[in-house]
Chains A and B, each alone.
Chain A
Amino acid sequence: MSNETPSLEDLKEELIAAYPKKVAKKRAVQIVTNDITEDGSVPEIKANTRTAPGIITQRGCCYAGCKGVVLGPTRDIVNLVHGPIGCSFYAWLTRRNQTLPPTPESENFINYMFSTDMQDNEIIFGGEKKLAEAIREVYENFHPRAIGVFSTCPVGLIGDDVHTVSRQMSEELGINIFGFSCEGYKGVSQSAGHHIANNQLFKHVIGRGTEAPEGKFRVNLLGEYNIGGDAFVLEDIFERCGITLCSTFSGNSSIDQFERSHLADLNLVMCHRSINYIAEMIELKYGTPWFKVNFIGPDGSAKALRKIAEYFDDDELRANVERVIAEEMIAVTEARKRFTPRLQGKKAMLFVGGSRAHHYQDLFTQVGMETISAGYEFAHRDDYEGRDVLHSIKVDADSRNIEELTITADPEEYRPEYTDLKKAREEAGMEFSDYKGMMPEMKKGSLIIDDISEHETEILLNKVKPDIFCAGIKEKYGVQKFGIPCKQLHSYDYGGPYAGFSGAVNFFEDIDRMVNASVWKHLKAPWAKGA
């Protein structure tokens, strides 16, 4: 193993060498060397295609994306999983979303898992009766305002109709109950589940509220899941700026926030992959414009806040935003000074999620580190190359079975004044519905790998030794066998928050603790060192 970086381009061949021809061919278009032409365009990468059988992937299933990611963090919707026990058990508190109910007595179901615990009887004769029974039990035990019902793989096959059961039970019990056809085999990854979750929230929840919170500048924050308390940090920043948070999808959220989210003045999209559908649908039906923000890293955070102030075109807001940025930057500048000498020149790799592999690069740049290779677990081409390529994405069989809702402007609730506002801002050069993707912001020559496999990860680490590798818990301990620290960017290794300005300081500190940990000196026993 050497510390010199071999040409990443040469590596590609090695990564796919062991695969059978067909797989190698498929993988070859999912691994590209980054290049940025003069007009700013980047090479095409294949993404969001099915992982070949027998390849050990980071990806989870559709159900994981639907129940685990999007719906999971909401505290007052009971998530009832229809299926055998494992699917529900494994999704029980395994993401590290935090929530802070307004009072200790307020509802909080995040600590619970609910499953219909299907037995062979239901597999043979159908499970609808048991599902109805389970819904009744949940209602009697907890009296929640809403129940979401999630289908796992066997449910789709035996043909249980979760939607009809949900509707009937909703009538019987008088609360909002809705189903998700998010069987794990649908789509190719969690991504399909995000889309399904977006659709059902849009159909059954969003728009039911009638009152927006008081405030001059009301926004929704979409795609912020409050891992490690990130949403708390952003809530605080917004409050100090005088921006009113109407809803967050879905970190530290509650169902009444979702219900009223269509009444906000602006949608901010953090994780583009998991939630852009809701932003689009709200705009089509209610007129609210959206733009992409990145609150990971001080630069991204400042940029986002300034853009919000420009959107509302309000001097008081501008002044507040500048004041908050200035206040926050004191600690950031101080921390950068402290950590840059310790981290400068170190190399990072990020293989995670559908936006995190992009968002976190900025934090590394802040302290002089370089991202030499990156890729997403479940993103699409637009998350790599930018939304400009949306029209040229081919829809394959796996994506075709995910419902696309047809949305039209609501005759009563559509607000044309927002369309006009957007138009005016656009004329002044402001960009909306915009995501430029990860690749244009990465260096030429860096290696981009979509859906990296366990096998490729090992080959990569055996050849190039980055100073830190960012992924999730499944990868963590394998990576560390190579003597390389692995930072979990799904759970933050139980650290965080990392969002906003103070989050950046935490991040620098944590990376320093990992990269410069004393353990790396002890990997070899003293008697083996000379050998």
Chain B
Amino acid sequence: MKSTALNKPKAPSYASSCNACRQCTPLGACLAFKGIEGAVPFLHGSQGCATYIRRYLISHFREPIDIASSSFSEDSAIFGGERNFRRGIGNLTQQYHPKIIGVATTCLSETIGDDVPSFLRQIDKDVSETENQPKLIHVSTPSYTGSHIDGFHEATRAVVKTFATRSPVNNRLALFPGMISTEDIRSLKQDIKAFELHGILAPDYSDTMDGPAWESYHRMSPGGTPLSEMTLFGGVKAAIDFTHVVADKQLAGAYLQDTFGVTRHRLPAPIGISATDDWLDLLSSLSGIKIPLSYEEQRGRLIDAIVDGHKYLSKVPVALFGEADHVLGLCSFISSLGLDIQLVATGGKTKGFEEAVHQNMQGDSSPEILNGSDFRDIESAVDRLYPRLLVGNSKGYTLARRKNLPLLRTGFPIHDRFGGQRLLHFGYAGAQRLLDELINTIITHRQSESDVGWTYI
């Protein structure tokens, strides 16, 4: 079954998955809901999924995340979960008084075919008089299609759909960055400010999933995209979907464009020099303000550092893996630094991934591409391609250890390093950080492998 040398890229030929490289759909939806002010995620299905997903998100973010569930019993699995759903929503509301409950479905409730939209309509009917009823937002997230990234975008779009109304044009910019780190969220907000623009960024979990120590008790973590702002979505001066490959039909900005005629820009997230250049150009043209000097200085320092560091990086064979948009951003930046990208792999099956990799290659590498892969596929590719460096999430650690390769951790999940939730990738500053880390990862590895014990290297 082992592939032989120099096999060209092909779809993995296994029926099963061994050491997966993606998570399930509701995980993304829960994280997206968590970035909306006053929202609690709720999984319609068994409690185990909620517990696992909480556990998993927490190991990356090191912050509490509450996810409720309708706690299916065998009976609900057989006869339908409406009763549990209604009780669950009621109980959750009384404990936390959330403003929003974001409902995502698990594979179980999807399999039995529970009609959640009709449950919601019924609840709305029954409680239309009570004021304290939270808004219920539903997104369908069966994991037997798609990955956490689909769940994330679908949930974001569902939130926007719920709040956006036709409204007069305002001065806001709607930003939909996708599943990114909390520091990247903060950096986008900083950029907007620097151009004197007003943004509505959704979802914004930079506080809810990376907040300060509490001075006093909060029933719910403060933060999230403000509800008062979200009603302005229909009239924003522009909407931006940051993505390489996500289909328009899943994107919130595209929804605003289609429904309200909002001007929409679709561009890659600002990872690396050229993507950051494009992003700042856009901000400059939207605001009519010249790119501020501080950015030019950052860029200058970055270029200077790349010049100084090229000897470490030039032609180093490297393998990248992780979530599609993130990996494509890295592809563009890392190839621009002159490393030789040997392998680009993503876990979720992503339409258009192969073309996007080619488009993002700056330089002359022609990497093997794995779409819809797991770590068994990645490992067998590593075996024939001999990269000297791995760049990806913590799940690559076992592989890195087995092959004695250094692993630069980036993306999601990072649970074997501290601070993974707040790594900066965006902008010149993010590129600078990535550059330093790339070089230092290589140096550290060389130093630890060296018999001599170099101190200047």
Contacts and interface: CB of A to CB of B under 8 A. Distances in A.
A154 B105 CA distance: 13
Contact of A458 (B55, B71, B219): B219
A467 B313 CA distance: 49
B95 interface: yes
A55 B106 contact: no
B85 A53 contact: yes
Contacts of B67: 56
B143 A85 contact: yes
A523 to B, nearest CB: 6
A474 B95 contact: no
Given A90-B55, A477-B62, A154 B87 contact: no
Nearest to A190: B48
A133 B15 contact: yes
A90 B145 CA distance: 17
B112 interface: yes
A72 to B, nearest CB: 14
B142 A61 contact: no
A134 B16 contact: yes
A503 B254 CA distance: 58
A123 B47 contact: no
A88 B18 CA distance: 10
A1 to B, nearest CB: 8
B19 interface: yes
Nearest to B1: A140
Interface stretch (B210-218, B270-278, B323-331): B210-218
B411 interface: no
A61 B64 contact: no
Nearest to A91: B52
A279 B58 CA distance: 36
Contact of B91 (A23, A88, A111): A23
Given A120-B144, A478-B64, A53 B91 contact: yes
A115 B94 contact: no
Interface in B255-280: none
A133 B16 CA distance: 8
B17 A115 contact: yes
A86 B151 CA distance: 13
Interface in B50-66: 50-56, 58-59, 61-64, 66
Interface string A462-503: 100000000011111110111100000000000000000000
B144 A56 contact: no
Contact of A134 (B15, B26, B96): B15
B243 interface: no
A113 interface: yes
Contacts of B213: 480-481, 483, 523
Nearest to A86: B24
A517 interface: no
Contacts of B93: 54
B194 interface: no
Nearest to A463: B217
Contact of B88 (A54, A63, A524): A54
Contacts of B69: 53-54
Nearest to A127: B144
A524 B215 contact: yes
Interface string A74-101: 0000001001111111111010000000
A91 to B, nearest CB: 7
B52 A141 contact: no
Interface string B17-29: 1111011111100
A116 B15 CA distance: 7
A528 B215 CA distance: 10
Interface string B216-252: 0111000000000000000000000000000000000
A268 B50 CA distance: 34
Nearest to B71: A53
Contact of B1 (A141, A401, A478): A141
Q: Could you say which of A113, A120, A138, A185 has the most chain B C-beta atoms within 10 Å of its C-beta? A: A185
A489 B408 CA distance: 30
A86 B55 CA distance: 12
Nearest to A133: B15
A86 B27 contact: yes
A458 B217 contact: yes
Given A111-B398, A114-B18, A51 B71 contact: yes
B52 A18 contact: no
Interface in A161-207: 183-186
A398 B73 contact: yes
A153 B106 contact: yes
B405 interface: no
Contacts of A116: 15-17
A113 B95 CA distance: 37
B52 A54 contact: no
B46 interface: yes
B15 A137 contact: yes
Interface in B273-297: none
B387 to A, nearest CB: 20
A455 B95 contact: yes
A476 B56 CA distance: 13
A57 B142 CA distance: 23
Nearest to B416: A494
B48 A55 contact: no
Q: Could you say which of A90, A397, A480 has the most chain B C-beta atoms within 10 Å of its C-beta? A: A90
A168 to B, nearest CB: 16
B440 interface: no
B52 A119 contact: no
B49 A86 contact: yes
Contact of B76 (A115, A185, A480): A185
Contacts of A475: 64
B347 to A, nearest CB: 9
B126 interface: no
A194 to B, nearest CB: 14
B111 interface: yes
Given A137-B15, A157-B108, A84 B144 contact: yes
Q: Could you say which of A53, A118, A120, A156 has the most chain B C-beta atoms within 10 Å of its C-beta? A: A53
B77 A60 contact: no
Contacts of A20: 90-91, 94
Contact of B47 (A59, A112, A118, A455): A59
Contacts of A357: none
A299 interface: no
B70 interface: yes
Given A401-B74, A477-B62, A64 B48 contact: yes
A303 interface: no
Nearest to A480: B213
Interface in A420-472: 453-455, 458, 462, 472
B84 interface: yes
A183 B72 CA distance: 11
A524 B215 CA distance: 8
Contacts of A478: 64
B18 A477 contact: no
Given A112-B19, A134-B16, A482-B217, A60 B52 contact: yes
Contacts of B142: 84, 120, 123
A92 B147 CA distance: 17
A130 interface: yes
B64 A481 contact: yes
A130 B17 CA distance: 11
Interface of B: 1, 14-20, 22-27, 42, 45-56, 58-59, 61-64, 66-78, 84-85, 87-96, 106-108, 111-112, 142-145, 147, 213-215, 217-219, 376, 398
27 contacts: A54-B42, A54-B69, A60-B47, A60-B52, A64-B51, A84-B143, A85-B23, A86-B53, A87-B48, A89-B23, A112-B19, A116-B17, A134-B16, A141-B18, A153-B77, A184-B46, A185-B72, A185-B108, A397-B74, A401-B74, A455-B95, A473-B58, A474-B51, A474-B54, A478-B64, A480-B213, A523-B213
Given A86-B26, A117-B20, A119-B144, 11 more contacts: A20-B91, A54-B87, A55-B68, A86-B49, A87-B24, A123-B111, A137-B14, A140-B1, A141-B1, A185-B74, A474-B55
